[in-house]
């Protein structure tokens, strides 16, 4: 039985907790979120009381020696650093969907080194994974490359995500309902956009062995051609922003990595990888298509739950545990045919 402290009860945190509760091999022994301090975890999750009182800080709960903490509080390395340090100093393993924890070397190399060193000193393991970054546009394509190629010629990764049923914070992050001018104004201030595409591209280039490369990045709004109503926001009128289109390219001599991300209400779902490379002096192509995938929120909570089972074993440190989420486990279940 793996004992878990759940820290952060936003939309992703709550849904992850619900999924954990269904697994007999996992047990939540405590929860932390100052917004809900004193309430029963079951009440916040919208289920029966669990007898787990939500705390406002980690210190007392960490004295109970949990095996892992699910840290679902923020996307940025800066904001999660205090929580990371507290858990690590207690020797507690961590899984987190924080985008910047997937490949923090890209964000702040010194902090990444510090976290890794501290984790090793305290025998703690840290896994930063989500669906994106963490799986579909980086870890999974890299796995395909390593298993099938000696040298890269080109890699194209597409993720087009229909956000019609996604949570409100993500809709806001992708600019839903804004005018084109408002979108670009927020973009200039760094208050809009997906967190992690450049990180994914850098991760791939570094792990494949490209050197002295440059990253070309662009972000554009996608404008609704007709009115459309997302599940968790007001109706988008024709002419308003329905989401975004980001591209990130790395071209080094004759090698290239191309990442294409489109997140907008009404998109045609597309998740595919195409790699051209050399193996044993021969050129060939590998393709994978996982367009029949659950939405990104559901995929992320499945990945987090799976990561818990890995984080308790393996070498101590930051992202040293060999865990690549299996995209097959993120696919939608086919409905049974009723005769």
Average pLDDT score over residue span 207-236: 95
Ordered structural domains, the chain, with CATH:
2-131+298-330 (3.40.50.720), 139-292 (3.30.360)
Structure tokens at 21: 């509760």
pLDDT confidence bin for 312, thresholds 50/70/90: very high
pLDDT of 59 > 90? The answer is: no
pLDDT of 186 > 80? The answer is: yes
- Judge residue 99's burial from the number of C-beta atoms within 10 Å of its C-beta, 0-12 exposed, 13-18 middle, 19 or more buried: buried
Lowest mean pLDDT across 59-63, 85-89, 175-179, 319-323: 59-63
Query: What pLDDT does residue 339 have?
Result: 45
Query: What pLDDT does residue 34 have?
Result: 95
pLDDT confidence bin for 337, thresholds 50/70/90: very low
236 or 296, which is more confident: 236
pLDDT of 51 > 50? The answer is: yes
Whether the CB-CB separation of 327 and 157 falls below 8 Å is answered with no
Beta strand pairing call for 282-289 and 270-279: antiparallel
CA 294 to chain centre: 14
pLDDT of 336 > 90? The answer is: no
As beta bridge partners, residue 280 has none
Query: What pLDDT does residue 303 have?
Result: 96
Average pLDDT score over residue span 261-266: 96
Q: Encode pLDDT of 92-144 as tens digits.
A: 999 999 999 999 999 999 999 999 999 999 999 999 999 999 999 999 999 99
Q: Encode pLDDT of 274-287 as tens digits.
A: 999 999 999 999 99
Whether the CB-CB separation of 231 and 124 falls below 8 Å is answered with no
Query: What pLDDT does residue 60 have?
Result: 83
What is the C-alpha to C-alpha distance for residues 175 and 194, in angstroms, rounded to an integer? 10
Whether the CB-CB separation of 327 and 291 falls below 8 Å is answered with no
Average pLDDT score over residue span 68-82: 95
Torsion angle, alpha carbons of 150, 151, 154, 159, to 10? 40
pLDDT confidence bin for 270, thresholds 50/70/90: very high
Query: What pLDDT does residue 334 have?
Result: 58
pLDDT confidence bin for 195, thresholds 50/70/90: confident
- Say whether 6 sits in a helix, a strand or coil: strand
What is the C-alpha to C-alpha distance for residues 261 and 272, in angstroms, rounded to an integer? 11
Average pLDDT, the chain: 94
What is the C-alpha to C-alpha distance for residues 150 and 65, in angstroms, rounded to an integer? 44
Residues 6+ apart with CB under 8 A from 131: 296, 299, 300, 303, 325, 330
Residues 6+ apart with CB under 8 A from 188: none
pLDDT of 57 > 90? The answer is: no
Residues of the chain with pLDDT > 90, as a percent, come to 89
Whether the CB-CB separation of 318 and 36 falls below 8 Å is answered with no
As beta bridge partners, residue 276 has 154, 285
Residue spans of beta strands (DSSP E) within the chain: 2-7, 26-32, 54-55, 68-71, 93-96, 125-128, 151-162, 215-223, 241-252, 255-264, 270-279, 282-289, 317-318
Query: What pLDDT does residue 333 have?
Result: 73
Average pLDDT score over residue span 8-21: 95
pLDDT of 338 > 80? The answer is: no
Concatenate the DSSP letters of all residues of 260-318 into one string. Answer: EEEEETTPPPEEEEEEEEEETTEEEEEEEE--SBPPHHHHHHHHHHHHHHHHTSS-SEE
> φ and ψ at 110, to 5 degrees?
-65, -45
Average pLDDT score over residue span 7-26: 95
């Amino acid at each position: 039985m793996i004992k878990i402290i759940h820290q952060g009860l936003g939309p992703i945190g709550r849904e992850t907790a619900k999924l954990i509760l269904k697994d007999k091999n996992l047990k939540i022994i405590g929860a932390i979120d100052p917004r809900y301090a004193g309430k029963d975890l079951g009440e916040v999750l919208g289920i029966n009381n669990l007898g787990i009182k939500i705390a406002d800080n980690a210190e007392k709960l960490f004295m109970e020696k949990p095996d892992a903490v699910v840290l679902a509080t923020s996307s940025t390395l800066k904001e999660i650093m205090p929580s990371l340090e507290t858990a690590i100093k207690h020797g507690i393993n961590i899984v987190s969907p924080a985008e910047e924890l997937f490949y923090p070397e890209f964000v702040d190399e010194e902090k990444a080194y510090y976290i890794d060193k501290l984790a090793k000193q305290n025998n703690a393991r840290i896994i930063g994974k989500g669906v994106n970054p963490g799986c579909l546009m980086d870890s999974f394509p890299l796995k395909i490359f390593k298993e099938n190629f000696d040298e890269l010629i080109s890699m194209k990764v597409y993720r087009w995500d229909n956000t019609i049923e996604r949570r409100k914070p993500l809709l806001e992050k992708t600019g839903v309902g804004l005018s084109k001018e408002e979108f670009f104004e927020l973009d200039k201030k760094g208050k809009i956009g997906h967190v992690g595409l450049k990180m994914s591209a850098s991760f791939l280039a570094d792990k494949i062995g490209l050197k002295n490369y440059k990253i070309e990045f662009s972000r554009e709004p996608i404008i609704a051609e007709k009115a459309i109503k997302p599940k968790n926001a007001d109706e988008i009128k024709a002419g308003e922003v329905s989401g975004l289109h980001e591209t990130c390219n790395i071209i080094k001599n004759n090698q290239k990595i191309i990442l294409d991300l489109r997140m907008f209400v009404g998109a045609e779902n597309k998740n595919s990888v195409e790699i051209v490379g050399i193996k044993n002096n021969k050129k060939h192509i590998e393709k994978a298509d996982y367009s029949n995938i659950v939405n990104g929120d559901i995929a992320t909570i499945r990945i987090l739950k799976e990561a818990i089972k890995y984080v308790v074993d393996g070498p101590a440190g930051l992202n040293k545990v060999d865990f690549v989420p299996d995209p097959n486990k993120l696919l939608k279940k086919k409905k049974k045919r009723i005769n």
